[in-house]
Structure 1
Amino acid sequence: MTQHTMAHPTAHAGAFDVYRKITWRIMPFIVLCYLCAYLDRVNVGFAKLQMMNDLHLSDAVYGLGAGIFFIGYFLFEVPSNLIMHKVGARVWIARIMITWALISAATLLVQTPTQFYIARFLLGVAEAGFSPGIMLYLTYWFPARKRGFALGFYYIAIPLAGVVGGPLSGWILDAFGQSQVMRGWQWLFLIEAIPSMVAGIAVLFMMVDKPEQARWLSADEKRQVVEEIRQEDGAKTEHANSMSFLRDSRLWKLCLVYFCQIIGLYGVSFWLPSIIKNSGVADNTMIGWLSAIPYLVAIPAILLTGMSADRRRTRRMHFSVMLVVGAIGLAFSGYIGRDPTLAVLGLSVGTAGTLAALSLFWGIPSAFLAGTSAAAGIAAINCVGNLAGFVSPYMVGWLNDVTGNVRIGLYAVAAFMVLGAFLVRMIAARDADQ
């Protein structure tokens, strides 16, 4: 264990100014990149509205294809992060984005279930390491006291992707639905890959690996940031070795909690358009606009619950409450039947609760993991938890096919979310709410 008690050298007014400058220089572009990533990850939910009939796919086949993305993501996430650490964020994030843009666009060529599975698996391989890589990247620029806000800023990209992607996807399906060149869902994959390609190329010119290389920071500002982060690293307690890290039961408890959380996240992401369609909305453009509403509602929910949790220092309680709220909203959206207004209301509650809980979650491991342990812990939790991205869509699709009732899959998702809300109570308040 290593501990350090020296005061931070940036405990003066100028510290706020430099981190505000960093926030507005790097975070909007990072949010844009994540928005593109998330859009290409979940636009298959809109493509489903047409490609299911065109390719004669069942809900189970769709669910497996949507989820198999996360197998590729799981297998290559750690190697990807190790490479990024070696070659730098600018080059590696650009490689990730350009590769996934090409593979996402190539999904328009699939004709069989096997081809669909391969395309989704390769997309997961291509994108692996992006999200944990960005989390690692933020540790180069923000000390712990500023990192929570930066991560909250980052996760706003998920509802923004829904707000932008829903209407855009619905419009593409309808506008190109009668095209003689390709079907609407094929145009969807092609057109929505373009922003990722452009952003990936822009990363090579706009991203700066570390504060020391930032031309827009003065020499004093660079020194200020680098020194504070160095001092903070020296002040933290880390696990003595890898075995003590692996024996930390809190890590494995959080893997279970995050798994349940991600079941809910992708229950929303992959099935939201279908829920609205099943409620009685036939027009794809209208489905797109209605699907934006739940994500729009989620934005203030993320910000307000994060501020409340920081102020009250009850992050664990806020997480549990929002995850249960999300579960209730999703279950309700499946229960109401053919009523679009109530379906959107339920989805708004479900999406707001689910995404607010997600933004709160990452403050919990960072409250007790430090330094190398924090980096390894975040990677491990993200890696194991994201396997739920495979389980969630496949489970819902399989239950829909087996039972013939589209409600059952949503009820199963809601049950996992409630379980996660209870499991987080296994983490002591002194560890979660620092």
Structure 2
Amino acid sequence: MAGTAARPAACLEPATRTFEDATYAKVTWRLLPFLFICYVAAYLDRVNVGFAKLQMLNDLQFSEAVYGLGAGIFFIGYFLFEVPSNILMHRLGARVWIARIMVTWAVVSALTMFVKTPAMFYVLRFVLGLAEAGFFPGIVLYLTYWFPSARRGRMNAFFMIGIPVAGVIGGPLSGWIMQVFNGVHGLANWQWLFLLEALPSLVLGIAVLFLLPNGIRSAAWLDEREKLLLEANIAREAPASPDHSLKGVISNRRVWWLAAIYFCCMMGLYGVSFYLPTLIATSGVKDPLQVGLLTAVPYTAGIFAMILVARSSDRSKERRWHLALAAIAAAIGFYASTLHSGSVGLSLLTLSIATAGVLSMMPVFWTYPSALLTGTAAAAGIALINSIGNLAGFVSPSVIGWMKQATQSTNAGLIVVAIALLVGSVLILAQRTASSRG
């Protein structure tokens, strides 16, 4: 990719630790806040269907199974276009490609307000997956252009905090829209939800064209000494895998191992994302605004957990146990939530444990692929792992929705999610040959 070629470390003037830290702090503050805001907008557009569900199903006479399939079918489109999207970003540049992704998903998300039939719902959710494919792994790949592996746990955490922050902001915002805009200009509250929450993505997608440099060389806000330092640090890290081709990535057993672990993690994440408002409403809270405010509690717990676990993992240079223990905590939280579904306080406590566990897995997990792969192999490998893992976004809501329709309870589905997370922890701990360093 243009602008990312590294110069030899010998070209680098001796730099103090203070200069290096100051340079990375400069890069962090220039890139991470903007990428973080973009991810918040992305996640809102992906999961606001969980809030729309509170009224949309009644208005359109959709069953729980229809909702679960529609929520999940997003990830089929996402899966199909993920790897091609990331390879295109690596070749064409992050600035144009990320902008394209954001603008197209904003348009498709807004069009969901016109859904009338299950078929329309399925088609638009599928196309939304196609539109958004490549955004998350694209940013994970983009961060590898700037930060060496020792710093990626924290950088991944700062970016991925967009997930819980989307919950903290999006919950109350979605609840407010659902309460205030119902019937305005003849539109239902869920229609306003899809329209209004698509606008930030559209604006930010256009802003990407002006604010996001393709790489170190094209960053006008860095001087030459800073660029040389960053490029030398990236160049100094030899890839852990000898495979640099797409074929090598597909045949790499560790890539598939990582994809299986990520699938288990995503089973938990999308159990929370698509059903948290429903689980809180089931505990006895009926007002949409109150439901929205209470969804912020588990996501707030997730923010603190992500930061603390990522910092601990980077500081100790240990990944495996951090990842496994987070998965186990999430499994315990999901299972415990089935025992206290009638209590608002206990439901929030157990769901907060589940959410914190799932979210704290993500930044630690993503230090693995970026340490194993580089170049086009990284683009393809990160996208392949993410796309396979995100198929859980199809499985998780579909299973929970089907089981809820069959049993009139979400408990059986949540137990399946807890089991998936325990399987993930076993896969993590079984691989002693996987380096504890990210």
Q: Who is 2:182 aligned against? A: 177
Residue identity matched to 1:416 = A
Report if the CA contact (8 A) 1:63-1:396 is conserved: yes
Contact 1:177 1:183 in 2 (8 A): yes
Write the distance in 1 (CA, Å) between the matches of 2:168 and 2:107. Answer: 24
Indicate the residue corresponding to 2:280 in structure 1: 276
Q: Runs in 1 of length 4+ with deviation above 6 angstroms?
A: 5-8
* 1:218/1:11 CA distance change after superposition, 3 Å: closer
Match of 1:81 in 2: 86
For this pair of structures, how many residues does the alignment match? Answer: 429
Give the whole-Å Cα distance in 2 for the aligned partners of 1:7 and 1:406.
59
Distance 2:299 2:396 in 1: 19
Amino acid at match of 1:417: L
Task: Tell me the residue number matched to 1:323.
Answer: 327
Take 2:15 and 2:336, find their aligned partners in 1: how far apart are those partners?
48
How far 1:374 sits from its partner (Å)?
A: 3.8
1:275 aligned partner, one-letter code: L
Residue in 2 that maps onto 1:403: 407
Is 1:336 aligned to 2:340, yes or no?
A: yes
Distance 1:312 1:221 in 2: 27
Task: Tell me which of 48, 70, 93 is aligned to 1:43.
Answer: 48
Q: 1:214 aligns with which of 216, 219, 243?
A: 219
Residue aligned with 2:184, SS:
coil
Deviates more, 1:109-118 or 1:353-362: 353-362
The secondary structure found in structure 2 opposite 1:221 is helix
Q: For the residues of structure 2 that align with 1:240 and 1:26, how far apart are their CA atoms? A: 27
**Structure 1 residues 65, 290: CA separation in 2 closer, same or farther (over 3 Å shift)?**
same
Matched, 1:293 2:297: yes
Cα offsets for 1:309-334 (capped at 9, x unmatched): 23333321111111111111122223
Residue 232 of structure 2 corresponds to 227
Change (3 A) 1:119 1:16: same
User: 3-state SS of the aligned residue for 1:364?
Assistant: helix
Match for residue 383 of structure 2?
379
- Change in Cα spacing, 1:364 to 1:295, as seen in structure 2 (3 Å) is same
Query: Counterparts of 1:360 and 1:309 in 2: how far apart (Å)?
Result: 7
2-structure distance, mates of 1:182, 1:245: 48
Moved more, 8-17 or 311-320: 8-17
Q: Name the residue aligned to 1:115.
A: 120
The whole-number CA distance in structure 2 between the counterparts of 1:242 and 1:65 is 31
- Residue 163 of structure 1 deviates from its aligned partner by 0.4
CA distance in 2, matches of 1:232, 1:257: 25
TM-fit CA distance, 1:236:
5.5
Q: From the superposition, tell whether residues 258 and 276 of structure 1 become closer, same or farther in structure 2 (CA, over 3 Å).
A: same
The correspondence for 1:142, drawn from 142, 147, 153, is 147
Q: CA RMSD in A?
A: 2.0
Letter in 1 for 2:409: N
Quick check: 2:144–2:370 contact (8 Å CA) kept in 1?
A: no
- Please tell me whether the aligned partners of residues 253 and 426 of structure 1 are also in contact (alpha carbons under 8 angstroms): no
Task: Determine the structure 1 residue equivalent to 2:361.
Answer: 357
Report how far residue 247 of structure 1 moved: 4.1
Q: For 1:311-368, what per-residue CA distance to the aligned partner results, in whole angstroms no more than 9, with x for missing partners? A: 3333211111111111111222232132111111111111001101122211233444
Structure 1 residues 104, 244: closer, same or farther in 2, change over 3 A?
A: closer
Instruction: Name the amino acid aligned to 1:395.
Output: V
Equivalent residue in structure 2 for 1:417, among 398, 417, 421: 421
Instruction: Answer with 293-302 or 268-277: which moved more.
Output: 293-302
Gaps of 5+ in 1: none
Check conservation: 2:138, 2:379, Cα contact below 8 A.
no
**1:9-158 paired onto structure 2 within 5 Å:** 9=12, 12-13=16-17, 14-158=19-163
What is the aligned counterpart of 2:256 among 252, 257, 266? 252
Distance in 2 of aligned mates of 1:98 and 1:241? 31
Q: Tell whether the 8 Å contact from 1:238 to 1:372 is kept in structure 2 after alignment.
A: no
How far 1:145 moved relative to its partner?
2.5
Deviates more, 1:45-54 or 1:402-411: 402-411
The letter of the residue matching 2:200 is P
Question: Aligned-pair distance for 1:243?
Answer: 5.6
User: What SS does the aligned partner of 1:217 have?
Assistant: coil
- Describe the shift of the 1:215–1:180 C-alpha distance in structure 2 as closer, same or farther (beyond 3 A): closer
User: TM (normalized to structure 2)?
Assistant: 0.93
Q: For the residues of structure 2 that align with 1:218 and 1:243, how far apart are their CA atoms?
A: 38
Comparing 211-220 and 244-253, the one that deviates more: 244-253
Rounded to whole Å, the distance in 1 between the matches of 2:269 and 2:27 is 29
Partner of 2:4: none
- 8 Å contact from structure 1 (residues 334, 410) kept in 2: yes
Normalised by the size of structure 1, how large is the TM-score? 0.94
Query: Cα gap change, 1:130/1:430 in structure 2, threshold over 3 Å: closer, same or farther?
Result: closer
Deviation at 1:295, TM superposition (A): 0.4
Which of 147, 160, 167 lines up with 2:165 in the alignment?
Answer: 160
Tell me the SS of whatever aligns to 2:198: helix
**CA-to-aligned-CA distance 1:67-113 (integer Å, 9 cap, x gap):** 00001111111221222223211111111111111110110000110
Deviates more, 1:223-232 or 1:82-91: 223-232
| Identity within the alignment, % | 51
**2:432 corresponds to which residue?**
428
Deviation at 1:133, TM superposition (A): 1.1
Q: Partners in 2 of 1:357 and 1:417 — Cα distance?
A: 11
What amino acid is the match of 1:348?
S
In 2, distance between residues paired with 1:240 and 1:94?
27
Give CA deviations for 1:383-433 in whole Å, capped at 9, x if unaligned: 211111111111110111122222111111111111111111222255243
